[in-house]
């Protein structure tokens, strides 16, 4: 006996974006951090936009995390979230550049400490 398949959503994902497949004027990456702006939800939000705003009430999430919670493909989540950014409901922070993620001085101090620990009796 095979397990039952998970039921598919009644509303197809592209309906959530009004049939649009790409976000306009907003370049979001998978690791872009999204922050909610303001307290009250504006009127006229779609169900997924409202769900995204509720998710981000607790704090920042990356685009990929938000898409996962929304149960939407990342490409369609970009459209939903870009509309919220354009409306001023969300702010997007680009990911930190790779070179800025590691402090070379701190890594050098850790390496020196490990060498001292190894050489001490």
Return the pLDDT at 110: 94
Return the pLDDT at 65: 95
pLDDT confidence of 55, banded at 50, 70, 90?
A: very high
* pLDDT tens string 13-50: 777 777 777 777 678 889 999 999 987 888 888 888 99
User: How far is Cα 26 from Cα 29, in angstroms, rounded to an integer?
Assistant: 10
Residue 99 has pLDDT above 60, yes or no: yes
């Amino acid at each position: 006996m095979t397990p039952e398949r998970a039921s598919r959503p009644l509303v197809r994902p592209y309906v959530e974006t009004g049939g649009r497949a790409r976000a306009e004027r907003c370049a979001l990456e998978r690791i872009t951090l999204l922050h909610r702006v303001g307290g009250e939800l504006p009127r006229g939000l779609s169900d997924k936009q409202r769900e995204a705003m509720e998710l981000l009430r607790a704090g920042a999430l990356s685009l990929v995390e938000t898409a996962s919670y929304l149960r939407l493909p990342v490409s369609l989540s970009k459209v939903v979230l870009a509309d919220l950014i354009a409306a001023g409901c969300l702010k997007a922070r680009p990911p930190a550049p790779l070179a800025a993620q590691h402090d070379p001085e701190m890594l050098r101090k850790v390496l020196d400490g490990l060498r001292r620990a190894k050489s001490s009796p």
